Structure 1
Amino acid sequence: MSDPRLDHLLYAVPDLLAGVAEFAGRAGVTPAAGGSHPGGTANYLVGLGPSAYLEIIGPDPAADPATRRRAAELELLDVPRLAGWAVHPADICAAVRAARERGYDPGDVAPMSRRTPDGTLLEWRLTRWDEPARVDPMPFLIDWGSTPHPAASGLPGVRLASFAAVHPEPAALRSRLAALGVELDVEEGPVIALRAVLDTPLGPLTLS
């Protein structure tokens, strides 16, 4: 299972509205619009409990194509994929320092923001997550500060039954996770992947 500090899972899709519709058809739960990010992406959200959620992220249909730098990678996806995950440490800066002392650099902490559909500005800080379409079994760190956590906003919800990573060198991945102080089930396999099983009104749904 995943670390108890799990903040959210990232499900990357090449077409945001089509990806949301496909998820709703498979899960029996309609994700809620989250908002737009700088760089041309936008998201829809599904709750995984009181402090975690699933983020469906894809190219923002309303964004100017000239500003969709980050969205370009997503548009090249052949199929949706579970691409990343985030944890929320008690102190994000202290967690970065500790990880570096143990030999793993999660990247610098940087501010980010997005606007919700009603115009509310949400602001947070997070460590490096440069390629939204690339599967990364190492989580990034996030700190919501004074911004209310998205999972507390009354999202439509499902239950996260299991979450794990697959990696050709599981011992190496476990070592990096330990340096970050993070827990995750890791299985050996030929390609790097993340896999989550959700309990939904339509039965178990596997995202990978």
Structure 2
Amino acid sequence: MLDHLAYATPTLDDTVAALEKALGVRAAEGGRHPGLGTRNYLYGLGGRRYLEIIGPDPEQPEPDGPRWFMIDELSGPRLVNWCMRPADLDATVAEARRHGVDPGEPRAMSRRTTDGDLLEWRLTMPSRDPLVPFLIDWGTTVHPADRGLPEVSLLSLTGRHPDPGHARTRLRAFGAELEVERGDTPGLVARLAGGVVLS
């Protein structure tokens, strides 16, 4: 089940402003990721799904290593990955490993909202392959999409890959369903209401 899309950018404020102009509504400020050098803004996508716009946080020190989602390598915004919310995170990790795909060990994370509420979750590390989802478990935390986010409609999410069959095999290891077409490079395409396309 889709939890959220990760739209990474090297220039967060500019990207948020551009999306506000395109969508007609401004994303809600999410919060900072202490120690990772990033912060985010969020749109609800209908149901318990959301779009995360994530980029560098100039108010944090430089992180010890590269920022997540290849942010330090980007020259512009890109839909870099998608996140699944399985019914049982640990069982899904084990099943993926049985199929030869290792999503890594889940790790505990947290951040504060702008209101000071603490959000806590467990997740696997995002892959550099945009079609391979990372996994999340929100536990008892209120899901971000249930916190009154400004909403935009997600019309479709598809993938492209030089070897669609290989990509589909890896997706099946997670129990994931995603339409994958042939393309020169791996990537995701999200179509939002209003003719906005993120890729």
TM-score calculated relative to the size of structure 1: 0.90
Q: What is the match of residue 20 of structure 2?
A: 24
Task: Provide the rounded CA distance (Å) in 2 between the counterparts of 1:68 and 1:164.
Answer: 31
* Unaligned stretches of 5+ residues in structure 2: none
Aligned residues: 198
Compared with structure 1, are the counterparts of its residues 198 and 136 closer, same or farther at alpha carbon in structure 2 (3 Å cutoff)? same
Say if 2:141 is the partner of 1:147. yes
Alignment identity in percent?
52
Q: CA deviation at 1:61?
A: 2.7
- Show the 5 A alignment for 1:1-208: 5-38=1-34, 39-65=36-62, 69-70=66-67, 73-129=70-126, 134=128, 136-199=130-193, 203-208=194-199
The alignment's C-alpha RMSD in Å is: 1.7
Structure 2 counterpart of 1:83, which letter? V
Task: Provide the rounded CA distance (Å) in 1 between the counterparts of 2:189 and 2:196.
Answer: 10
Compared with structure 1, are the counterparts of its residues 166 and 37 closer, same or farther at alpha carbon in structure 2 (3 Å cutoff)? same
TM-score calculated relative to the size of structure 2: 0.94
Compared with structure 1, are the counterparts of its residues 93 and 43 closer, same or farther at alpha carbon in structure 2 (3 Å cutoff)? same
Over residues 131-180 of structure 1, what are the superposed CA-to-partner deviations in whole Å (9 max), with x where a residue is unaligned?
xxx55211011000000000000100011101011100100000010111
* Unaligned stretches of 5+ residues in structure 1: none
Task: Provide the rounded CA distance (Å) in 2 between the counterparts of 1:72 and 1:188.
Answer: 23
